Amino acid sequence: MDRIVTLNSRQEAALQAHAEDFIAVHKGDVMKALKEMIVLNGHLQERLDALTAPRRAAR
């Protein structure tokens, strides 16, 4: 991740609500939720990299 994203207050509130829901899915275990989120983000990053790889090679 090579960029910083700035959120407005509405986006921040939406993110907070989703985070609370995600933690609730993990029965309040914040560390378990964080670990799963890290793994999920890794998988998503791999998929994004795979999608953009052919474009980089074509340039």
Domain that holds residue 37: 9-58
Contact 23, 30 (CB under 8 A): yes
The pLDDT score that the predictor gives to residue 46 is: 93
Q: Spell out where the chain has E strands.
A: none
Residue 54 has pLDDT above 80, yes or no: no
- Count of domains forming the chain: 1
Report yes or no: 33 and 25 within 8 Å, Cβ to Cβ. yes
Instruction: Tell me if 17 is assigned to some domain.
Output: yes
Q: What is the mean pLDDT of residues 24-51?
A: 94
Asked if the structure places residue 40 within a domain, the reply is yes
Tens of pLDDT, residues 4-26: 999 999 999 999 999 999 999 99
**pLDDT at position 56 over 70:** no
Predicted pLDDT at 59: 56
Q: CB 18: neighbour CB atoms within 10 A?
A: 10
Does 52 fall in a domain? yes
Mean pLDDT of 32-49: 94
In a domain, 4, yes or no: no
Task: Give residue 52's pLDDT.
Answer: 86
Instruction: Establish if 2 belongs to a structural domain.
Output: no
Residue 38's alpha-carbon distances to 6, 35, 42, 45, in angstroms, are 20, 5, 6, 10
